[in-house]
Structure 1
Amino acid sequence: MQLPPGPKTPSWLIGLQFEANPFDYMDRISKRYGDMVTLMFGSTPIVYVSNPSGIKQIFTNTKEIVAKGDLNRGFALGTGEKGVLQLDGLIHKNRRKILMHTFHGARMQACGRRICELTEKIIGQQTVGKPFIAYPTIEDITLKVGIEIVMGIDKGERHEKIKHLFTSILRLNVQSPIDKILLTIFGERDLGRWSPQGYFLHLRQELFQLLSTEVEERRNQLDFSRTDMLADLIFAEDETGQPLSNEEVRDLLLSPIFAAGDASGTAIAWALYWIHRLPTVRSRLLSEIDSLGDNLDPMSIFALPYLNAVCNEVLRIYPTQLFAFPRLVESTVELMGYKLNPGTVLIANIYSTHQHEDLYPQPKEFLPERFLEKQFSPYEFLPFGGGSRVCIGATFALFEMKLILVTILSRYELELVKQNPERPKYGGLICYPASGVKMVKRGLRQRQGKSQLLAVDLI
């Protein structure tokens, strides 16, 4: 076997260097070693690939290279043993098909009004002139939307408890220095609720119990008129024609809600940062939004070309998901001139692919126009991963991102509290804005020539 080059640094030190500044670390190793970099974790070689041709082979060669659920076993504590990330083959294909039904067609359009209502309500609660942090504020919106779409619960005590538990678990991904010290001292041992692992397991148990109760109650009170993901799963059949178990249904709910709240909230927070940091981007975007006049319906918003370019550039420059889910070489394969043996793990490096200067000139600059001038292949621009593990809710995530941004921008005048560059902070799978994007609301925005109507009233 001939492995691509890579650093000989111990894996624990690589982890520290990566965590300190993930983008800088990946820039350095890509510059030194190229498009394929090998990192050794014990005796297992993990090859990170940022070449579009290599990524295409990883995503499309399903004979020698497989997307095994066992490779995602590390996420099972948060997403359940029977979550979609842990499934393989026909079972995985069956469950993905069921889940994807929720995020497409008329259902997606129907929730547009709700997204705008929640955005208007939550941003409207911010006090004029008083700074607020955009990331948790936006996450509140995206998590409410996710719970409503996935579980069909939009209010009440159970909704609030579920939202609180998801939020608390997500916060553990962005650990404070004290939390990291405690985790270093105690490791992953459960020493009660005062230890990091013990507190996580406590939250997990509460969340799983609430979800299990909801699944059981819905199973016992069948309602064929409901259109949420939970209803789809309850009425669905597996690959053998049998109903899914309550445990399967519960675990399948977890990843979509986490993605809806965390990844979507992060992407929108980054978008608010870039739009308000660059006056020319904000001005052009507002002009495009105003060109719709009073026709602020969801599909008109979704089709705006410059808005689409801005969202894509946000996902390019600081992708919320830095890497695609791993693949495993099952039989000897040649990839980009290297002969790789079974047992080698392959990971598409999304961030480094998006930094290719031949694809994206001036990659460190925020330039939405690049997406108006060129159409990129799914192996050149891949913010949601690719192949059989591509994000189920990718289209809906963009839909939600656009509606929330347009509702905020068309209604309010916001400013960044400081113009200092926002640094990324890595936690779990997501790269968050380190300060959360500190903003201040200056008041309602008036469209030139007429008073601005609430977006929610027009949808």
Structure 2
Amino acid sequence: MDLQNLDSIKAALEETGFGVNAPLLLLLVLILLTVYKRRAKSVLPGPSWLLGLGPILSYGRFLWMGIGTASNYYNERYGDMTRVWIQGEETLILSKASAVYHVLKSSNYIARFGSKRGLQCIGMHEQGVIFNSNILHWKRMRAYFAKALTGPGLQRTVGVSVSATNKHLDVLHDLTDSSGHVNVLDLLRCIMVDISNRLFLRIPINEKELLQKIHKYFDTWQTVLIQPDIFFRLDWVYRKYRQSAKELQEEMGNLVEQKRKVINAMEKLDETDFATELLFAQDHGELSMDDVRQCVLEMVIAAPDTLSISVFFMLVLLKQNPAVEQRMVQEIQTVLGNTLKDHFLSVEHVSKSCAHFHSLISSQTQLQRALCSSQVPSRFFQPFGCGPRSCVGKHIAMVMMKGILVTLLSRYTVCPRSGCTVSTIEQNNNLSQQPVETDPYNLSMRFIPRTELHPHHTTQPEQEQ
């Protein structure tokens, strides 16, 4: 009787199709259990696993939107601490200032992640200081940068910054279009490259040609940084980026060899610089030729990208706040002739404040701190990071920005196009936040000479109509 019942049950199951679908149902149950366990283990909010589709979508969003924009998207959606996947690995995105500060200050924060193939493409895999994750080698390289960016080099920066800015302002007509506007980013980049060359390389260069190669190098840098390995196997896609990186690397190699010839032709070397120190280290077997080339490359390209964009946004924000500009000009007149590094408190205040023009806290937040209205630059957010991987040139960068701003504002007031503000300028946020340059309309400003500079009277023209 029992056998007959079993046979009848089996026949009924086969008629309904359950016998065939049982393995599929069992597989589905196992998948659901796996998903449940993964959700139970993850204590941080973030996109769902979705049977393995979640990591693909998460990674794809970073490739599509850019690192900065995608990070902002996930933080806005899931909170200050978000778990995502990049190249299949769980990655945490932090946006809360205190959490970021805690990580950056930690001695455990010693490396920056990126695609190995991508870093090899731009020459930063275990070379230079920016993305070098070989800690021993990075420390050795950083020592050369620290020596060049502090001490006597820092003291010379004031005069060099003022001289380079005046040189380019004297030929401002070369960058002025038929409507009387100047592409400010192009001007600032030329000034930055000139300053970097005078401080660290000291050989004749073609600034405009070098800037074109630097611009393509940065485009390659932010494109290949987190690309999957298959991207580098698609030669028809990867070719142009590889060529752009190679062009700048070859140019830097040529400049280094040119510097070597200049040194060898000298009878007596009275003063050294960054490139000279690197070449001496290479001659003593401490550095390779690739090390020297990459270090010079990173030293030369840093300012045109970061500082030029920072000063550009400062000029835009100053025009949005004419009272602040007038206060700066009055301060310039009061202390002009003194050392830039030790004076110009308002200039330093504006520089540090503009460097984080997006609010760090939500509006209506109450702060329990006395004298919040006083200008104490050291209280402001540090845009150059902190901890063991902080920007090695953060002090010299501030001196350079002060020198450029003081020189420019003492001679001109800039006037952006009508309606041009920080919020209206189209921007992208990938490796860094910067204005979109495909349409140079919002990058152009009129430079109006200051006919009279007086502590109590400064001409402040209205924004262009």
TM-score, normalization: structure 1?
Answer: 0.72
Structure 1 residues 16-31: aligned runs within 5 Å: 18-19=65-66, 29-31=74-76
Q: Which residue identity is paired with 2:427?
A: K
Hey, what does 1:262 align to over in structure 2? Answer: 305
**Corresponding residue for residue 440 of structure 1:** 446
> Among the aligned pairs, what percent are the same residue?
19
Q: Which structure carries more relative contact order (alpha carbon 8 Å, separation 6+)?
A: 1
Counterpart among 203, 219, 223 of residue 247 in structure 2? 203
Distance in 2 (alpha carbons) for counterparts of 1:246 and 1:275: 44
Aligned-partner Cα distance in 1 for 2:242–2:72:
36
TM-align CA RMSD: 3.8
The match for 2:341 is: 299
User: 5+ unaligned residues in a row in structure 1: which ranges?
Assistant: 319-353, 363-368, 453-459
CA deviations over 1:407-431 (Å, ceiling 9, x no partner): 0101113211223334252365222
Whole-angstrom distance in 2 between the partners of 1:388 and 1:358: 32
Q: Paired residues, what number? A: 386
Are the structure 2 counterparts of residues 71 and 432 from structure 1 closer, same or farther at C-alpha, using a change threshold of 3 Å? closer
Q: 1:317-360 deviations in whole A, cap 9, x for unaligned?
A: 25xxxxxxxxxxxxxxxxxxxxxxxxxxxxxxxxxxx5223898
Match of 1:338 in 2: none
Q: Within 1, Cα distance between the matches of 2:374 and 2:392?
A: 23
Q: Which one of the candidate residues 83, 91, 98 is aligned to 2:137?
A: 91
Q: How do residues 331-346 of structure 1 correspond to structure 2 at under 5 angstroms?
A: none
8 Å CA contact 2:106–2:387 kept in 1: the answer is no
The answer to whether 1:429 aligns with 2:434 is no
- The answer for unaligned runs of 5 or more in structure 2 is 1-40, 49-53, 459-465
Q: Does 1:48 align with 2:90?
A: no
Q: Structure 2: which amino acid aligns with 1:419?
A: G
Which protein is richer in helix relative to its size? 2
Moved more, 83-92 or 130-139: 83-92
**Conserved? CA contact 2:190–2:211, under 8 Å:** no
Q: Cα gap change, 1:273/1:76 in structure 2, threshold over 3 Å: closer, same or farther? A: farther
Alpha carbons of structure 1 residues 221 and 192: separation in structure 2 relative to 1, 3 Å: farther
Which residue is 2:397 aligned to? 397
SS across alignment from 1:111:
helix
- Cα 1:92–1:449 change in 2 (3 A) is closer
- Give the number of the structure whose alpha-carbon radius of gyration is greater: 2
1:415 paired residue number: 415
Distance 1:407 1:70 in 2: 39
CA distance in 2, matches of 1:50, 1:308: 25
1:142 is aligned to 2:192 = yes
1:39-118 to 2 correspondences below 5 Å: 39-62=84-107, 65-68=108-111, 71=114, 73=116, 74-81=118-125, 82-84=127-129, 85-118=131-164
User: What is the CA–CA distance in structure 1 between the aligned matches of 2:231 and 2:64, rounded to whole Å?
Assistant: 19
Aligned residue identity for 1:275: L
How far apart are 1:44 and its partner, in Å?
A: 0.4
Checking the alignment, whether the CA contact within 8 Å between 2:427 and 2:433 is kept in structure 1 is yes
Instruction: Report if the CA contact (8 A) 1:133-1:438 is conserved.
Output: yes
What is the TM-score normalised by the length of structure 2? Answer: 0.71
